[in-house]
Amino acid sequence: MKKMFKTLVSAGAALSLLACSSSGSSSAAGTTASSSAESLYTAGTYTASAAGHSSDVVVTAEFSGSAIEKVELDVSGETETPGQAAAEELISQIMEAQSADIDGVSGATETSTAVKMAMQDIMAQAQGLETSSAETTGLTDGTYTESVQSFGFTGDMTGDVTIQDGKIASIEITSETDSATGQWFSVAQKLLIPRIIEAQSIGVDSITGATTSSGAIKNLVGKAIDEAGGDSTQWRTPVEKSTETVTKEGYDVIVVGLGGSGILSYCAAAQEGASVFGMEAAGAIGGNSVSVYGPMALNSENMKEKYTNGEDYINEDDVYNTWIEYVGTDEKADVIKKAVYNSGSALDYYMDNFDFSFDGLNGLLGSFVVPEWTQEWTVYTADADNTKWYVLGPDHTFQFEHALDKAKAMNENNDYMTELKAEELITDADGNITGVRATYYDGTTYEIYGKTVILATGGFVGNEDMMKEYLGSTVTTIGCTVNKGDGIRMGMSVGGATYAMGTLPMIHISQVPNVIRTDELTADQKAILSALAVTTDMPMVTVNGEPWGNVNQSGTSEETGLSVEIAYAPGFRYYVMYTQEDIDNIKANGLSEAQAAAVVNFVGNGGTLPEAGTPVADIEDIIAVGEKYNNVIKGDSIADLAAKLDVDEATLSETLGGQDGTYYAVICAGWSYGTVGSLDVDENMNVLKEDGTPIANLFAVGQDSEGVCNADGKAYSPWGGQAQSWTFVSGQIAGTQAAAYTGE
Ligand SMILES: Cc1cc2nc3c(=O)[nH]c(=O)nc-3n(C[C@H](O)[C@H](O)[C@H](O)COP(=O)(O)OP(=O)(O)OC[C@H]3O[C@@H](n4cnc5c(N)ncnc54)[C@H](O)[C@@H]3O)c2cc1C
């Protein structure tokens, strides 16, 4: 990363130089100057994008003939901190430098680099410099081996780029270390590489759902271009978008979103003989549903046969009653009954008809609130190599792909497309839903017409505005990149009501908010940093500066681990406070028992913790890097800390017992799997209007209807596997009901 950073800075410096001297006839390798002698720039507004940390960062800049007048950044797809938080500083650096040659913001390296790259592109546009053609690239032929940061906690990507006749001839990724994202990496590799080669541009769009892996591939090719003697900033020509419209009609059922609930709906509709069209925005099917342990299944016949000689293994009435008690109302009793009493049969339906395969956990995992309900939670069986057992990561795709292909083959009219993003419902003059309008990755508009629509877009955790509107704050996410609330928005656009939008997002994991992907810390040091965040033996302070006590999901206060309770914390995060003395003590005497026992599977970043009492001589280095990445905030006094945390000084002082001195606030953030609040549906999964009447040909499943099983202000129904179970239950019901819809 460092090497690339330097290369880019020098490329940027070269461009700035050109900017200063463009009154003469300037040219550079691969560029042709066409600026006028009177002015530096052609006045106007220019836009360019580049791959950032988790999205394509878009820069728009307004130029007069002699200066950059205004800069705007769209970093909405980047992490809230440090990515989005860096935006203002990056804008002022560009304005001050009047060029793309800026320092960037430390801790937000990937976002800064993307802004610089896009700005370099804009500078070239404003100066009338044409992008390189293959003939003028000046690239030296050869094969260049490069390494870049990739996705995940330890992610790293290496590949060979072959330049032949001045063109990108081949790109071969030789290693990608983050196995947990293996699938998304493969998708980016399969789809993006041919597009880069065809367009001879690293300005092609990233693959939806695989933006980080796409960005890494583009960065890797960019490094090779630079090393081959070119200027990668000149290889970012965006690919022209199609303006065509394609119409497809005659379907019985249109499924929007092919994650778990969408595929399961598709399968059930196809099984009933319907003609089905499915669309998926990402480059691959599966959504978050391929990253899970598995669904809850109460008294599945297959599980009973395998484990209990045909005997029931759980009392379903108990589960139902506990559930109604938990949500505190029987308003949605008819739907919750389906969630409970259909969970086993829905799993069996898909095992028997679509070859899904599950095992019981045999006590490996318990239900969160009722630990003895261990057998209610099943897991997907391993893949053929038996290597992907109980692993978090997109590992169950093969089961979903198999089911979808089997369902597609059930009717010759059935079809589905990936990289096709639903935009809106199409309605006729009377407001009746007749189809879905969608955009393909190449810009083509698709109008798909059919009798019914099933919304299965996986909730809204990826939509910042909706998160703030319904939950008051965004949340750090694990997975969930394409879940932007499109289904809920589309349902609402035709009068659909919502239910329990204030249910807390699913959070079972906590750690520092900003994963440090560089090697500035070893994996063991990263584990120590995370342990400082998740330990339960230090004072905890809310984002408002007030004391944070642990309140578990049953509402009782406990001094236990916080990975679930954090869903209740304001802003889904809190600060763990250390005085200077505490840090000195760790240096001399090591971690406490609680700190050394902090959970380190996810939070460990691949490292392990030292035993309690082993001196941590490098604690100051760990804290310093933590500070750099906004995981730790240091205050030289309570007043200083209050100012940095943007909290009331008196409140913070009272919380800290009024004892002044140096403090380190280590941020503990909840990592969310998804949202729960959703469209309101009835027991047929029909979307309901505010007056309670169903929209007959509109259905919602999975996270787009999960709210009906939950309650505002509470964590989601906390029995392990419930969310995934709902994809099976709601998918089977909606697919069957949609197929049966006649329009009469
Ligand atoms: C890492 C992880 C582990 C989990 N573990 C468990 C577990 O063990 N048990 C459990 O019960 N739950 C678990 N969950 C939660 C569970 O995965 C979800 O609740 C469930 O899978 C959601 O299914 P879904 O179909 O609603 O959403 P998804 O599976 O996410 O599918 C939604 C799909 O819609 C697509 N989409 C979005 N917008 C559009 C659009 N405009 N046009 C077209 N397509 C669109 C998305 O790309 C995605 O493919 C876990 C979640 C994660 C992330």
pLDDT tens digits for range 67-105:
999 999 999 888 777 788 899 999 999 999 998 888 888
Residue minimizing CA distance to atom 51 of ligand 1: 673
Q: Are residues 495 and 595 in the same domain?
A: no
For ligand 1, whether the C-beta of 319 sits within 6 Å is no
Q: Are residues 262 and 173 in the same domain?
A: no
Q: Are residues 122 and 14 in the same domain?
A: yes
Identify the band that residue 11 occupies on the pLDDT scale cut at 50, 70 and 90.
Answer: very low
For ligand 1, whether the C-beta of 262 sits within 6 Å is yes
* Of the candidates 356, 387, 374, the residue with the CA atom closest to the CA atom of residue 308: 374
Residue minimizing CA distance to atom 27 of ligand 1: 458
* Of the candidates 2, 26, 239, 235, the residue with the CA atom closest to the CA atom of residue 139: 235
Q: Are residues 576 and 669 in the same domain?
A: yes
Whether pLDDT at 382 is above 90: no
* Of the candidates 173, 334, 278, the residue with the CA atom closest to the CA atom of residue 692: 334
Identify the band that residue 49 occupies on the pLDDT scale cut at 50, 70 and 90.
Answer: confident
Higher pLDDT, 719 or 336: 336
* Candidate of 439, 724, 732 to mutate for ligand 1, largest count of ligand atoms within 8 Å of Cβ: 724
* 422 CA from centroid of ligand 1 (Å): 16
Task: Please check whether residue 243 lies inside any domain of the structure.
Answer: no
* Of the candidates 658, 711, 595, 563, the residue with the CA atom closest to the CA atom of residue 550: 563
- Tally the residues of the chain: 744
CB 396 within 8 Å of CB 380: yes
* 450 CA from centroid of ligand 1 (Å): 24
Residue minimizing CA distance to atom 49 of ligand 1: 287
Q: b/e per residue, 695-732, with b = 16+ CB within 10 A? A: bbbbbbbbbbbbbbbbbbebbbbbbbbbbbbbbbbbbb
Task: Please check whether residue 700 lies inside any domain of the structure.
Answer: yes
For ligand 1, whether the C-beta of 672 sits within 6 Å is no
> Structural domain tally of the chain?
4
Report whether the peptide linkage leading into residue 82 is cis, meaning its omega lies within 30 degrees of zero: yes
* 261 CA from centroid of ligand 1 (Å): 8
Taking only the tens place, the pLDDT of each residue in 437-466 is 999 999 999 999 999 999 999 999 999 999
For ligand 1, whether the C-beta of 485 sits within 6 Å is no
Of 126, 146, 162, which residue is a domain's last?
Answer: 126
* 433 CA from centroid of ligand 1 (Å): 25
Task: Please check whether residue 742 lies inside any domain of the structure.
Answer: no
Residue minimizing CA distance to atom 41 of ligand 1: 422
CA separation for the pair 377, 335 (Å, rounded): 20
Q: Which of 150-159, 282-291, 362-371 has the highest mean pLDDT?
A: 282-291
* Candidate of 455, 457, 466, 477 to mutate for ligand 1, largest count of ligand atoms within 8 Å of Cβ: 457
For ligand 1, whether the C-beta of 293 sits within 6 Å is yes
Whether pLDDT at 358 is above 70: yes
Give the C-alpha distances (Å, rounded to integers) separating 412 from 121, 277, 581, 741: 47, 11, 71, 20
* 532 CA from centroid of ligand 1 (Å): 31
* 462 CA from centroid of ligand 1 (Å): 11
Higher pLDDT, 517 or 508: 508
Long-range contacts of 134-137 (CB under 8 A, 24+ apart): 134/165, 134/166, 134/167, 134/200, 135/166, 136/29, 136/30, 136/31, 136/32, 136/166, 137/29, 137/30, 137/166, 137/167, 137/230
Give the C-alpha distances (Å, rounded to integers) separating 152 from 54, 329, 530: 11, 41, 15
CA separation for the pair 732, 137 (Å, rounded): 56
For ligand 1, whether the C-beta of 295 sits within 6 Å is yes
Whether pLDDT at 534 is above 60: yes
Q: Are residues 668 and 690 in the same domain?
A: no
For ligand 1, whether the C-beta of 483 sits within 6 Å is yes
Q: Could you give the 3-state DSSP secondary structure of residue 609?
A: coil
Residue 299 CA, distance from chain mean position: 33
Residue minimizing CA distance to atom 13 of ligand 1: 292
For ligand 1, whether the C-beta of 710 sits within 6 Å is no
Q: Which of 21-25, 30-34, 115-119, 170-174 has the highest mean pLDDT?
A: 170-174
Domain at 358, CATH number: 3.50.50.60
Identify the band that residue 365 occupies on the pLDDT scale cut at 50, 70 and 90.
Answer: low
In terms of DSSP bridges, do strands 276-280 and 245-256 run parallel, antiparallel, or are they unpaired? parallel
pLDDT score, position 482: 86
pLDDT score, position 467: 95
Domain at 184, CATH number: 3.90.1010.20
Angle between helices 260-271 and 343-354 (to 10 degrees): 70
Assigned token pair, 562: 């916080």
Identify the band that residue 367 occupies on the pLDDT scale cut at 50, 70 and 90.
Answer: low
What is the full DSSP assignment across 30-51? TEE----SS-SS--EEEEEEEE
Q: Are residues 314 and 343 in the same domain?
A: yes
Of 205, 235, 265, which residue is a domain's last?
Answer: 235
Which residues, in sequence order, are CB contacts of 678 under 8 Å at separation 6+? 459, 488, 498, 499, 500, 501, 700, 703, 704, 705, 706, 707, 708
* 262 CA from centroid of ligand 1 (Å): 10
For ligand 1, whether the C-beta of 260 sits within 6 Å is yes
Q: H or E segment at 454?
A: strand 445-455
Tokens 């099943």 label which residue? Answer: 378
Phi/psi of residue 577, nearest 5 degrees: -100, 135
CA separation for the pair 659, 663 (Å, rounded): 10
Instruction: Look up the pTM and report it.
Output: 0.82
Residue minimizing CA distance to atom 48 of ligand 1: 287
Task: Please check whether residue 46 lies inside any domain of the structure.
Answer: yes
For ligand 1, whether the C-beta of 261 sits within 6 Å is yes
For ligand 1, whether the C-beta of 287 sits within 6 Å is yes
Q: Are residues 65 and 192 in the same domain?
A: no
For ligand 1, whether the C-beta of 458 sits within 6 Å is yes
Q: For residue 184, what are the domain limits?
A: 138-235
Q: Are residues 155 and 70 in the same domain?
A: no
* 646 CA from centroid of ligand 1 (Å): 35
Cα angle 487-563-601, degrees, rounded to a multiple of 5: 100
* Of the candidates 255, 344, 241, the residue with the CA atom closest to the CA atom of residue 702: 255
For ligand 1, whether the C-beta of 722 sits within 6 Å is yes
Q: Are residues 561 and 580 in the same domain?
A: yes
Give the CA dihedral 180, 422, 444, 51, nearest 10 degrees.
Answer: -40
Q: Could you give the 3-state DSSP secondary structure of residue 373?
A: coil
For ligand 1, whether the C-beta of 448 sits within 6 Å is no
Q: Are residues 396 and 264 in the same domain?
A: yes
Tokens 């089977």 label which residue? Answer: 732
For ligand 1, whether the C-beta of 231 sits within 6 Å is no
Assigned token pair, 391: 């692993």
Which residues, in sequence order, are CB contacts of 296 under 8 Å at separation 6+? 343, 376, 377, 378, 719, 720, 721, 722, 724, 725
Lowest mean pLDDT among 10-24, 398-412, 642-656, 670-684: 10-24
Q: b/e per residue, 485-504, with b = 16+ CB within 10 A? A: bbbbbbbeebebbbbbbbbb
* 418 CA from centroid of ligand 1 (Å): 15
286 CA closest ligand 1 atom index? 49
Q: What is the DSSP letter of 274?
A: -
For ligand 1, whether the C-beta of 292 sits within 6 Å is yes
* 411 CA from centroid of ligand 1 (Å): 26
For ligand 1, whether the C-beta of 279 sits within 6 Å is yes
Task: Please check whether residue 652 lies inside any domain of the structure.
Answer: yes
Q: What percent of the chain has pLDDT over 70?
A: 85
What average pLDDT does the chain have?
85
* 458 CA from centroid of ligand 1 (Å): 5
* 719 CA from centroid of ligand 1 (Å): 17
For ligand 1, whether the C-beta of 457 sits within 6 Å is yes
Task: Please check whether residue 240 lies inside any domain of the structure.
Answer: no
* 459 CA from centroid of ligand 1 (Å): 8
Lowest mean pLDDT among 227-236, 294-303, 593-602: 593-602
* Candidate of 181, 254, 292, 397 to mutate for ligand 1, largest count of ligand atoms within 8 Å of Cβ: 292
pLDDT score, position 371: 66
* Of the candidates 392, 666, 671, the residue with the CA atom closest to the CA atom of residue 510: 671
Task: Please check whether residue 744 lies inside any domain of the structure.
Answer: no
Of 209, 235, 261, which residue is a domain's last?
Answer: 235
* Of the candidates 239, 693, 290, the residue with the CA atom closest to the CA atom of residue 444: 239
For ligand 1, whether the C-beta of 280 sits within 6 Å is yes
Q: Are residues 285 and 428 in the same domain?
A: yes
* 284 CA from centroid of ligand 1 (Å): 13
Burial of 234 (C-beta count, 10 Å sphere; 0-12/13-18/19+):
buried
pLDDT score, position 591: 96
Q: Are residues 286 and 230 in the same domain?
A: no
Task: Please check whether residue 743 lies inside any domain of the structure.
Answer: no
